[in-house]
Structures are given as structure tokens and as C-alpha cells.
Structure 1
Amino acid sequence: MGIAETARIARERLGATPGVVRPPLAMIELFILRDFLSPDECAALIGMIDANRKPSRLLSENPDAAFRTSETCNLDRENPLVRGIDARIARLLGIDPRLGEILQGQRYGVGQQFKPHHDYLRPSEPYWGRQKEIGGQRTWTAMAFLNVPGRGGETQFPRIELTIPPRIGSLVVWNNLDEAGEPNPATLHAGLPVAEGVKYIVTKWYRERPWGVRRGARQSQGRPELR
């Protein structure tokens, strides 16, 4: 299944799901579903993040030390809770679960942020040689808020003048590509600095091909062979 077909199925599935809201945006496809995660699920995920968090990294080199200052952890995909959430997101979008990267948790303390960036991958960057072999381009992003900090921590899309405040359990989904399947600059977004308290989120990225499977490699029992 190609990028265009994946996008068609995702937008149709999201559009047909009760409770999903699609803001009237001309430049990107973005959807919001409140209460996707329960408070208990959010609390359990926060515990996992706190137990395993490390300083966040970037795929590309950036000399700005303040560009991404959060802490991050990859969640155990064999954990029953994580496995269930993975499956629910894939069903919601109608996307083959094999296309999904590992669910990632992020923690932002006071003053921490992720400056404006894109989730799609740039073929001009040094990392592209490896990334195109283990899944290729990122297509869709699904991000869920796990709590509400005292102040700040909104997710902002500056090019479309959209700011989304944190809400416990709320899921935000967007297509990183345009109608032609090319990277969409309008998906530029930022995690604004937390002014009070702590913010927790989880993020799921999908690729154009099974993630972690090198081109030409065989898959084991239908799951990616991670490299």
C-alpha cells in the first residue's frame, strides 16, 4: 500500500470515528480526539516515562542546545498497556501496525521545550541514507497529552496559527505530507516552553514502509526485524 492509499484510508477512518474533530484547515490534515486515553492509562504511562527518561536527542545535528530540551524514553512495545495503545492508534487510523515506530514518551519540565520543527524526514540530511532503508519517510504523527501542566506546554503550529492546549487523554493526529505525498512545510510545530509544572506526552510516528525492516529483508512472524 502506497503513501496516497494510506492517507486516504486514514482520513476516511478518522472522519468516520465518533468524537473526532477536524479543524477547518486548508494547509494540513489534522484531527483531534478527546479522551482517547483514560486517566489511569495516562498515569501508568507517566510512571513508565519517569522510570526510563533520558535527555532527548535529534536525528539531525543542531548547534542550538535549547532546540529540544525535554527528556524522552522509548516505551516497551511488549508491555500489555503499550501494546494495546499501539493497536488502538493503528485501528483508529487504519494503518498497518508494522509501519509504526516505537511509542515514545516525553517529559517537559519548567522552561523545557521543542522549538519549531517538522516530523517528516529530509532526504538532504546525512541521516536519510539509513532512514530510507529502515522504513523511509514519516507519514502520520499521533500525539497524546497525558496531563495538564500548571501553565504553558501547548503544541503550536505557527504556519497555520493553531495552538492546542494540553488536555488529559486527548489525541492529536496529523499528516506530515501533502496531497502529492511530499513533505508539507505547513506541518511545522513546536512544544512551547512549560511555565509551571511538568508536561507529559506520548508520540507515535508512522513510516511509508515497515519500520526497522531493511529493504529486501525478510520479516519474522509478521513483525519488523529491528536494526
Structure 2
Amino acid sequence: MRPSPGNGATAARLAAVPGIQRVPTRALELFILRGVLDAATCAALIAQIDARRRPSEIADDVGIANFRTSETCDFDWRDPVVSAVDRRIADLLGLPLGASEPLQGQRYAPGQEFKPHTDTFEPGGYDYLVHTAAGGQRTWTAMIYLNAPDDGGATRFKQIGKTVQPEAGKLLAWNNLLPDGRPNPATLHQGMKVRRGTKYVLTKWFRERAADVA
């Protein structure tokens, strides 16, 4: 297996960021950083999500009803707010913007959730062949909460017993791959059900190599 690009270097870069927290586990590289986006930027992105939302889709469909019930926004990369956030995330992780997917937003209304899943494509499956042909496997995920709903909506990493509560501007970043390049099963996570209010997040996925992975 080939090593994961950015594996080690990205973790070291993030570990040096003032105020960042590395979750204490050997199972995966998972970091939390508050205050990555300010209130005005979060509000601008929330407005765009509300205006451009569509039902969320899922690769590697496992055939479970209501597995992912959120809505998704495909941001316009030409928008100055979106492009600035794109660059901010890439610079923070030290990964090339060209080796990433376009920035997405997600909206979770009361009762909506994303059941336990990983962000990688399952090797050997049809979706793996389709989605990794250009840019390769997903490496790092960066997710930023844009607000905190009134109740619920936490992100839970079940295998390591870590639950992260939503907070406007808070970033979660994790390495989806093991050192040998295989998907790391310990990255299994879920967007827990929102009980009151609405949750907004944005997500950025990086790939093994630069390519058109839109």
C-alpha cells in the first residue's frame, strides 16, 4: 500500500497551531480548534446554505432508510467569502487546494441526522472506482460548525468514545487514512440527531492528488 500524502506532515502542522487540541487517542489523528471562522462569516455561509440547499446524497449506499437526512449546499467557489474560507482551510492543514473537493455546506433541521459512516470510499466497490479515478482516496476531512442548534446535533466518534458539541466557528479535522494508505475504521463518526433548532456545518475533503474531483 502507498503511504498517505500529508500523513504525518499535516498532523504535525496542526499540532503546532496555537490553541488547537489533539484528541488523546492512538486510533486516529483528530484535532479540534475553536474560533476558526468569525460570526459574520458563519452568518454569510448559513444564508448561502439556506438559499442553495438540496437533499443530501451518499456514496456507497448501505441500503438503510433515512441513513442521511440532511440537506447539502454546493457553494459557488467564485464567491469571495467561500474562496477565502477555502484558502483558510487549505492553509491551516498545509494541503494543496487543488487536491480537494469543492466546499460544501450541510443543514440539519429537527429530527435530521447522518448515521455512523466514514468519509472514505470503500475499496473494491463501484463507487470507489468512480469517485477515486481522478483524485484518489479522501485523505483529510475538515468540518466547521457554523452555529450551535438549541439541542442535539453533536458529532460522535463511536470507536474512540469522543463526542464533540457544535459551536459556531469550531473546526474538526481528521486523517481518514492509516499510515499505509488504507481507510482507518476508527474514523467512523455520526452527525447525531438535531432535537431543537437547526444545525449548519461546512465540510472540506482533501484527496491523494490534485485533479478535477468536483
1: CA distance, partners of 2:211 / 2:116: 25
1:97-116 equivalences in 2 (<5 Å): 97-116=97-116
**Deviation (angstroms), 1:122:** 0.9
The answer to whether the Cα contact below 8 Å between 1:145 and 1:166 also exists between their aligned partners in 2 is: yes
**Structure 1 CA distance for aligned equivalents of residues 4 and 71 of structure 2:** 34
The 3 A distance-change label for structure 1 pair 105 and 3 is: farther
* CA-CA distance at 1:211 after TM superposition: 3.7
CA deviation string 1:147-202 (max 9, x = no partner)? 01010000000000000000110000000011222110000000000010000000
Residue matched to 2:172: 172
Task: Give the drift of 1:103.
Answer: 0.5
Which residue matches 1:220?
none
Contact 2:4/2:178 (CA < 8 Å) preserved in 1?
A: no
Please state if 1:75 is matched with 2:71: no
Matches of 1:57 and 1:97 in 2, distance apart?
23
Task: State yes or no: 1:60 paired with 2:53.
Answer: no
Deviation string, structure 1 residues 60-79 (Cα, Å, up to 9, x no partner)? 23322210000001111111
Moved more, 75-84 or 57-66: 57-66
State the identity %.
48
Gaps of 5+ in 1: 214-225
Which residue number in structure 2 is paired with residue 94 of structure 1?
Answer: 94
Query: Residue 139 of structure 2 corresponds to which residue in structure 1?
Result: 139
Alignment partner, residue 152 of structure 2: 152
- Cα distance, 1:132 vs structure 2: 2.2
TM-score by length of 2: 0.96
Q: Could you tell me whether the CA contact under 8 Å between 1:29 and 1:174 is conserved in 2?
A: yes
132-141 or 152-161, which deviates more: 132-141
Q: Distance in 2 between matches of 1:77 and 1:44?
A: 14
Query: Residue type matched to 1:89 in 2?
Result: I
* Equivalent residue letter for 1:137: Q
In 2, Cα distance between equivalents of 1:178 and 1:42: 32
SS in 2 for 1:60: coil
The two structures have a TM-score, normalised by structure 1, of: 0.90
* Preserved contact between residue 101 and residue 211 of structure 1 (Cα < 8 Å): no
User: Secondary structure, in 3 states, of the residue corresponding to 1:201?
Assistant: strand
Report the Cα offset of residue 50 of structure 1: 0.2
RMSD: 1.3
Say which SS state the counterpart of residue 6 (structure 1) adopts: coil
